[in-house]
Amino acid sequence: MANSPAVLEASATPVIEEVPSFNVTLFVRRYNPEDGREPYWQDFDVTVHGTDRVLDALHKIKWELDGSLTFRRSCAHGVCGSDAMRINGRNRLACKTLIKDLNINEPIYVEPIKGLEVEKDLVVDMNPFYQAYRDVQPFLIASDKPAKERLQSPEDRARFDDTTKCILCAACTTSCPVFWTDGQYFGPAAIVNAHRFIFDSRDEAAEVRIDILNDKEGVWRCRTTFNCTEACPRGIQVTKAIMEVKQAILRGRR
């Protein structure tokens, strides 16, 4: 006998498995300039799900345990770049770091990115970082005013495609030992964004940016440690981009 409609409907119902949960301990680097206390570590025990990111754990701490915890976040999807921080000693985006991918049997250490002044807890002063970005003139510069769009071949577009992915999270710059010790260094992110226009065939100010980065605090301060490439959450070949800018200074844009 054929199955009844009710039986068919029941058999078609998907089985939704419960997402496992587990307990983790987060040690968060705390600092409040208003209380006169030196930075210190504070531990929090939280219950998280297997799909949770570090950002979810920080939300749980702030919403349920300690509302004074301060950090930046916006889109929570790895696009805005505002939640860059050091997680277990590595620069990462909190919204892209799955807790289950860390060693959950050990405490998870969360602290602000290095090389920029800490304003409170996980929030740093980004103004020096943004100033270096502005200094390389990260916008298209062209003298003519065309009646239609500026055409570009796929090959010309591919020349700088990688460096268009930057989200200005500062993960690369604040992973750089040179930046930690020399606050005047432009840093990898600024150089990446200069690269994006230096090699854009529609742009006419490549030499201006090359002159800027040929300064003593420009590309020649790079020591090629690859920290920046490893830290980039977008997978940009940062060290390669810096090398190509060095080559452009020596041989001209190609």
> Residues 208-244: pLDDT tens digits?
999 999 998 999 999 999 999 999 999 999 999 999 9
The answer to whether residue 161 scores a pLDDT higher than 70 is: yes
Q: What is the mean pLDDT of residues 242-252?
A: 93
127-251 shares the fold of 21-124: no
The CATH homologous superfamily of the domain defined by 21-124: Beta-grasp domain (3.10.20.30)
Residue 251 confidence (pLDDT): 87
36 — alpha (psi -120 to 50), left (phi > 0) or beta? Answer: left
Q: Where are the domains of the chain?
A: 21-124, 127-251
Looking at residue 30, what DSSP letter applies?
E
Taking the C-alpha atoms of residue 159 and residue 13, their distance in angstroms, rounded to an integer, is: 50
The answer to whether residue 174 scores a pLDDT higher than 90 is: yes
3-state SS, residue 118: strand
203-214 per-position pLDDT tens digit: 999 999 999 999
The CATH homologous superfamily of the domain defined by 127-251: Alpha-helical ferredoxin (1.10.1060.10)
Contacts of 156 (CB under 8 A, 6+ apart): 200, 201
Contact 81, 58 (CB under 8 A): no
Residue 18, judged by CB atoms within 10 A of its CB (0-12, 13-18, 19+), counts as exposed
